[in-house]
Chains A and B, each alone.
Chain A
């Protein structure tokens, strides 16, 4: 019970930390809204040319764009969440302090990242989404159940997102410099999450592959759950399997890393 409170406090800390930067949050809202508008116009032109691309109609494509802008920083799709701090701590050697704490390393960072996600969802995600709904035709469900289903999918997406970035961060134990990995996280995140184009509009075998990768759990699944285009239970199963696999791999890598940790002297 006591440890549950600890992680809740860590999560609250993550939330508060990002809530402190109000100007940065407003700036982020503005940027996501501008990018959303640009993307919506290009998608509308694309769907004009080819209606029902990827099985979406225009309103669904627009909804997809705005959900993407809403989740961009929530799920740290191009990186920049807890894994960035963790990499820094590994590089500077401060990780040694974390390893002495009477708390689980992975759970600690997961809690902190979930707090960050929650703040980004409320502080940065909701307004661009609402702006989109106000000024563009969107395919939004009217029943409460679909929205509740979305929330579950979002929570699972947060776990998968953290799972990927935690693995990336741990690689710093071997590589020391996180720049290359951060770049890989960024490229794969933007491309394979479907920020460029919905994954169901990717052609051929290429499309089949990206749709089973863990990144599909981040934007494609929540979008399809919200618009009722997929059975929520199937989507949850897909997300949960990837979350378990990634978090377990993170655990394994963590124990391998901490056994060989050599603390950098400053």
Chain B
């Protein structure tokens, strides 16, 4: 229904997709601006950072396409219309995903994919079968990890009600963070996003293997391949948080 409603105004749809492309592309323009002044950042070259960027934005874009409507949750709780979702005979999470489902978010995925493809042709890598296979695995597990963050954030919103911006810090903040090499950040910070909120497994760790860079925190070699496991773990935890959130939900009564 949301797709059909968006398609009713075709020009407007095309314009918003392009607008979306431009908005999300700003980050990359920022990176290009930085590289107009320097040759490397934290020891990484532009194609290498573009590789990180493409992976992070594509994964995030997929998660955002499926679950990005989570920010609507806060206002639905506030105005009481969340109750309607609860009484319908369909999983609440699927309904929220479909709520205001916006195909314009394809703009972000497109932009991430374009940068990723360029990066793949530009990086100086000795490609092996394992490395080639790892790229799609990274995109998919990254999307799953980001989705788990969205769901956990939604669960938090049920408690906090009017705090959808906290979620932005982890979702948008997370994808921004992963666009830069881990060497840029402080050690404790990297530890936090590796062990507490395992965003490092979206791209930092597996991309270090592909590019032949030292792993963040001197992790052992095999961790480059655990991203799918981390993704499954994140989903389990997010699922638990979501159930706990739903269980504690009290309607505003309006």
Residues of A within 8 A of B (CB): 21, 23-24, 26-28, 30-31, 34-35, 37-38, 41-42, 44-46, 49-50, 53, 177, 179-180, 183-184, 186-187, 190-191, 196-197, 201-203
A41 CB, min distance to chain B CBs, angstroms:
5
Is A38 touching B177 in the complex (CB atoms < 8 A)?
yes
Is B26 touching A34 in the complex (CB atoms < 8 A)?
no
B185 touches A (CB below 8 Å): yes
A sample of 12 cross-chain residue pairs with beta-carbon separation below 8 angstroms, ordered by A number, consists of A24-B165, A31-B169, A34-B170, A38-B180, A41-B186, A45-B41, A46-B41, A180-B12, A190-B26, A191-B26, A196-B29, A197-B33
Is A24 touching B163 in the complex (CB atoms < 8 A)?
yes
Question: Which residues of A lie under 8 Å from residue B176 when comparing CB positions?
Answer: 35, 38
Is A23 touching B23 in the complex (CB atoms < 8 A)?
no
A49: nearest residue on chain B (CB-CB)? B38
Give the 8 A-B CB pairs with smallest separation, nearest first: A27-B165, A196-B30, A27-B163, A183-B19, A34-B169, A49-B38, A23-B162, A31-B169
A177: nearest residue on chain B (CB-CB)? B12
Question: Which residues of A lie under 8 Å from residue B251 when comparing CB positions?
Answer: none
Total residues of chain B contacting the partner, CB 8 A: 39
B194 touches A (CB below 8 Å): no
Residues of B within 8 A of A (CB): 12, 15-16, 19-20, 22-23, 26-27, 29-30, 33-34, 36-42, 160-166, 168-170, 173, 176-177, 180, 183-186, 189
A196 CB, min distance to chain B CBs, angstroms:
4
Is B33 touching A42 in the complex (CB atoms < 8 A)?
no
Question: Which residues of B lie under 8 Å from residue A27 when comparing CB positions?
Answer: 160, 162-166
A39: nearest residue on chain B (CB-CB)? B176
Is A41 touching B189 in the complex (CB atoms < 8 A)?
yes
Is A31 touching B168 in the complex (CB atoms < 8 A)?
yes
Question: Which residues of B lie under 8 Å from residue A41 when comparing CB positions?
Answer: 180, 184-186, 189
Residues A180 and B15 in contact in the complex (CB < 8 Å), given A38-B173, A201-B37: yes
| A41, A184, A201, most chain B CB atoms within 10 A | A41
